[in-house]
Amino acid sequence: MMKLDVTWATDRAAMAELAAAYVCASLGDGLTTSLALPTGDTPIGMYECLAERRRRGEVSFRNAKLFNLDEYAGMSPENPRSYHAFMRRHFIDHIDVPSQQVRLLRGDAPDAAEECRAYDRAIAAAGGIDLAILGLGANGHIAFNEPGVPWDLDTHVVELDRRTRQAHRPNFPDEASVPRIGVTMGIRTLKAAKKVLLLCAGEGKREAMAALLAGREDHAWPVTSLLGHKGLSILAEEALKPC
């Protein structure tokens, strides 16, 4: 069993501040830094803190290169439910990153397989991912790497798990309109990142957190693929702390 170093935050606000401080420290040397960025409820507070720090002049993203982790297949960037729109609404439109340094997955690309290959080429051209910021799914997924997905893939198309679709149901008008297919950075890409910041929050993540803290690789819980990553940092709500 592998012992993990976890920073426990008292609440979501404290977690957001700690995550933002970690990102700022990663950008602080002024070198070009490639970030892989998550969507969902968990990172919104972090994005708000980073935008506020940018407004106060405490951090700049002019040397950052931004990638997002995943997207719904078939969804255009103009769709307000797309992850492309999410990233712009919650983060990109509030910071000083040059537009040519932002590369987001296109869910509506006419050839999804080619979009995956093009995305991998863009990541490689950026020198790989310096910091991958990840959320944790209730089923243990990281990005859209669902239970049972091979761990040796780069960017790929994936069928979304039932629990993932259930979690996303509140964002759509009815169950039938929740996407069934996603496009995602693969676990091989994420494990190749120089540093990984894993954000764990929400009562529904307790089982996935327990699987991670067990310290054993388990393909039923994709998050355990990160075990052994030398640059892994885990930031979690105290509510998820084992009794």
Nearest-10 crossing angle of helices 44-55, 83-90 = 40
141 is a catalytic site residue: yes
Rounded distance, CA 238 to CA 54, Å?
Answer: 28
- Select 6-240's CATH number: 3.30.70.1450, 3.10.50.40, 3.40.50.1360, 3.40.1030.10: 3.40.50.1360
User: Quick one: pLDDT band at residue 1, thresholds 50, 70, 90?
Assistant: low
pLDDT in tens, 30-72: 788 999 999 999 999 999 999 999 999 999 999 999 999 999 9
Is the pLDDT at 3 greater than 80? The verdict is no
159 is a catalytic site residue: no
Q: Say how far residue 129 (Cα) sits from the centre of its chain.
A: 12
pLDDT in tens, 189-215: 999 999 999 999 999 999 999 999 999
108 is a catalytic site residue: no
152 is a catalytic site residue: no
Model-level pTM? 0.96
User: Quick one: pLDDT band at residue 28, thresholds 50, 70, 90?
Assistant: confident
